[in-house]
Amino acid sequence: MAKEFKRYLVTSALPYANGPVHIGHLAGVYIPSDIYTRYLRLKGCDVISVCGSDEHGVPITIKARKEGVSPQQIVDRYHELIRKSFEGLGMSFDIYSRTSSKTHAETASAFFRKLYDEGKFIEKTSMQYYDEEAQTFLADRYIVGTCPKCGNDRAYGDQCEKCGSTLSPDELIDPHSAVSGSVPVKRETKHWYLPLDQYEGFLREWILEGHREWKSNVYGQCKSWLDGGLQPRAVSRDLDWGIPVPVEGAEGKVLYVWFDAPIGYISATKDLTPDWEKYWKSEDTKMVHFIGKDNIVFHCIVFPSMLKAHGGYILPENVPANEFLNLEGDKISTSRNWAVWLHEYLEEFLGKEDVLRYVLCANAPETKDNDFTWKDFQARNNNELVAILGNFVNRALVLTKKYYDGRVPACGELTGYDRETIAEVAAVKASLEANIEHYRFREALKDAMNISRIGNKYLADTEPWKVVKTDPERVKTILNVALQITANTAIAIEPFMPFSSAKILKMLAVDKFGWERLGAMDLVPDGHAIGEPELLFEKIEDDVIQRQLDKLAATKAANQAAEAAQHVEPQKDTIQFDDFQKMDIRVSTILAAEKVAKTKKLLKLTVDTGIDKREIVSGIAEHFTPEELVGKQVLVLVNLAPRELKGILSKGMILMAEDASGKLRLLQPGDTTNNGAVVG
Ligand SMILES: [Zn+2]
């Protein structure tokens, strides 16, 4: 028997205020959170939804330094951008706060101080990198060097963005400070740690025993953290941006952003209502954290341990974290600008907020990583929203307008088929509720859409536009039923597509219904005058999609060029013209190519150099197949001293260009020319 709760507290991961929000954030966190909250509100539950910008931490100070502005200017800019774009997409947070607020500084400080006073932290001194030139300790992010795994010379002390490896500063080859460029030294520094190992027993019992119902990806990650053994975790950092550690002798130290950010949920609630304690301190409250999978450890292990250490707070009842959404087959990346940004979408797809909400929910990465493609976006809009939902609503309203001058016709005697249809609509409610309450939003959306599917089929089967000529009385009943289904659709889709729901209600000229009315067949009364029908959704044409694909292609090309520019070899020593003149390079045609037996890399090529036909052994078998080489004109250094390779005398060298990624390309004359033509 599930526990009954009197109220709900819904939290959504605080977006980091150093960049705009993209579709990955939306699909992972904010759309599911908004669906859940809207559903509970429609049901008349006592629910609040809190969110806000996470405005502390090292990446913000790095960005500020890069742009030559203050961290405050960075967070002001992105807080405003994120807040506005959330609003534009219909995110219905009760409060969208920020961790730079006064309330938050007080709340987080007091939280720390209580744990400090009660001896819940341990103090440890450790050796950390220090920049003597800039006179500052360096967070891991501030140390750059060469990645030991992939050789990227711009890896950070915590991560290599090229190969994705997690690193520690000690692993970097040739580490230097990102602040001054100097070589950092190690210095002793003191920090406070939350001894997570002491909370292992509590966490095991609470999660592994008590919350077996959590999503398997979340439960599994918690289990593997716990099985791996928990370590004390630092709650302070040497940094000048953040909430100062509120104890003496802690100058230059701030609360580690992962200690302060989740407390942001509490501060946001305080800013929302003086009655905040009933949401945080009563066992009758169900708290649900919506987050992405990269935040599981903080919301399931760290924050609950903090709450437990503090005492007096409730713990989350569920943490329905999603996996990641990719874009056109590639990982979404802020630094590579590989994303669909919400604020840009809202500008470019005016009035299509619900289309994005729909597609991101229908395709949400609930159980595994998923892919967003613009073709799928177009197909779902055209084949589902336009063809099913929009089409049904439009037909019901337009026919009512046409036959009855917009007055809802009375329902006459129902046929067996009418009753079946009505029963089908009514049956949706239970399934839809179960799916939302179990955080299966994709399935829930299918249920919500199912109502218009049923309606669409009903009109196609009953054909009122034909029957009207023979049995006008029957058509009144059909359209009455169709209008009731239309109103039901408005209720069912509200959590998912609030703009379209409101539009349907406006066209029906009725007020918003409560959730309990879902399934009812008396939502629009006989004789009621409906409003003007307009299209709910428009078809999205190929050129609109192509523009988005072109935009992504341009981003990809820019990234590749930037990447290549980073890896251009320095110029070699100067040579004299005579040195160059010594090289005899000729246009040649590859006549035959075959792999050299028992080697991986070697190809034996027969080339016509214009002077002669000769054999060249080239180490390019991993880059080209023999078939793709035959017939190609290439440039050959023909007077290179012959060399024997695997028993074959190689006479010359094929010229190639190697790009930053190590990919080889043949150098070819721009037009076909005669073999033996001299290059120089
Ligand atoms: Zn790497």
Would you say residue 320 has pLDDT above 80? Answer: yes
CA atoms in the 13 A half-sphere facing the CB of 425: 30
Structure tokens at 467: 């029957």
Would you say residue 122 has pLDDT above 70? Answer: yes
pLDDT given at position 137: 86
Would you say residue 294 has pLDDT above 70? Answer: yes
Dihedral angle, C-alpha 534, 540, 541, 542, nearest 10 °: 180
Dihedral angle, C-alpha 368, 374, 377, 378, nearest 10 °: -150
| 166 C-alpha to ligand 1 centroid (Å) | 9
**How much is the average pLDDT of 377-391?**
98
pLDDT given at position 142: 87
pLDDT given at position 1: 46
pLDDT given at position 109: 98
List, as ranges, residues with CB under 5 A of the ion ligand 1. 147, 149-150, 152, 160, 162-163
> Which residues does 657 contact at the CB level (< 8 Å), separation at least 6?
664, 665, 667
**Which segments of 334-373 does DSSP mark as H helices, in order?**
342-348, 353-362
The mean of the pLDDT values for the chain is 94
Alpha carbon distance 611, 586 (integer Å): 9
**How much is the average pLDDT of 439-446?**
98
Domains of the chain: 7-113+256-331 (3.40.50.620), 119-238 (2.170.220.10), 373-517 (1.10.730.10), 577-679 (2.40.50.140)
| 339 C-alpha to ligand 1 centroid (Å) | 22
Question: In the structure, what pLDDT confidence band is assigned to residue 398 with cuts at 50, 70 and 90?
Answer: very high
| 241 C-alpha to ligand 1 centroid (Å) | 28
Residue entry with tokens 């730079």: 100
- Which of residues 430 and 570 earns the better pLDDT score? 430
User: Model's pTM, two decimal places?
Assistant: 0.82
Q: What is the DSSP string of 271-331?
A: HH-TTTHHHHH-TTEEEEEE-BGGGHHIIIIIHHHHHHHH-S----SB---B-PEEETTEE
| 147 C-alpha to ligand 1 centroid (Å) | 5
Q: What b/e readout covers 126-150, taking b as 16+ CB neighbours within 10 angstroms?
A: eebbbbeebebbbbbbbbbbbbeee
| 281 C-alpha to ligand 1 centroid (Å) | 45
344-347: long-range contacts, CB 8 A cutoff, minimum separation 24: 345/23, 346/85, 346/88, 346/89
Q: Which amino acid is at 347?
A: E
Dihedral angle, C-alpha 253, 183, 186, 150, nearest 10 °: 90
pLDDT given at position 680: 82
Would you say residue 567 has pLDDT above 90? Answer: no
Would you say residue 566 has pLDDT above 70? Answer: no
pLDDT tens digits for range 527-549? 999 999 999 999 999 999 999 99
> Which residues does 299 contact at the CB level (< 8 Å), separation at least 6?
262, 289, 291, 316, 319, 321
| 229 C-alpha to ligand 1 centroid (Å) | 27
Would you say residue 590 has pLDDT above 90? Answer: yes
For residue 150, give Cα distances in angstroms to 156, 161, 173, 581, 643. 13, 10, 11, 38, 32
Residue entry with tokens 């713990």: 315
Would you say residue 654 has pLDDT above 50? Answer: yes
**How much is the average pLDDT of 115-133?**
93
3-state SS class at 385? helix
pLDDT given at position 178: 86
Q: How many H helices and E strands in the chain? A: 23, 26
| 143 C-alpha to ligand 1 centroid (Å) | 14
| 152 C-alpha to ligand 1 centroid (Å) | 5
pLDDT tens digits for range 605-633? 999 999 999 999 998 998 898 988 999 99
| 332 C-alpha to ligand 1 centroid (Å) | 18
> Which residues does 89 contact at the CB level (< 8 Å), separation at least 6?
26, 30, 342, 346, 353, 356, 357
- Which of residues 644 and 530 earns the better pLDDT score? 530
Alpha carbon distance 378, 356 (integer Å): 10
Alpha carbon distance 131, 147 (integer Å): 20
pLDDT given at position 179: 83
**CB 271 within 8 Å of CB 50:** no
Would you say residue 554 has pLDDT above 50? Answer: yes
**How much is the average pLDDT of 365-373?**
94
| 262 C-alpha to ligand 1 centroid (Å) | 30
Would you say residue 335 has pLDDT above 90? Answer: no
pLDDT given at position 424: 98
| 661 C-alpha to ligand 1 centroid (Å) | 13
**CB 18 within 8 Å of CB 60:** yes
pLDDT given at position 246: 96
pLDDT tens digits for range 67-93? 999 999 999 999 999 999 999 999 999
- The candidate with the shortest Cα–Cα distance to 130, out of 168, 166, 180, 59, is 180
- The candidate with the shortest Cα–Cα distance to 451, out of 508, 399, 409, 393, is 393
pLDDT given at position 249: 87
**Which segments of 373-440 does DSSP mark as H helices, in order?**
374-380, 391-404, 416-437
**How much is the average pLDDT of 352-370?**
96
pLDDT given at position 661: 66
Would you say residue 564 has pLDDT above 80? Answer: no
Alpha carbon distance 521, 105 (integer Å): 52
| 269 C-alpha to ligand 1 centroid (Å) | 41
**How much is the average pLDDT of 562-582?**
78
Residue entry with tokens 């010359």: 652
Sign of the C-alpha dihedral, residues 354, 356, 360, 362? positive
Question: In the structure, what pLDDT confidence band is assigned to residue 161 with cuts at 50, 70 and 90?
Answer: confident
pLDDT given at position 52: 98
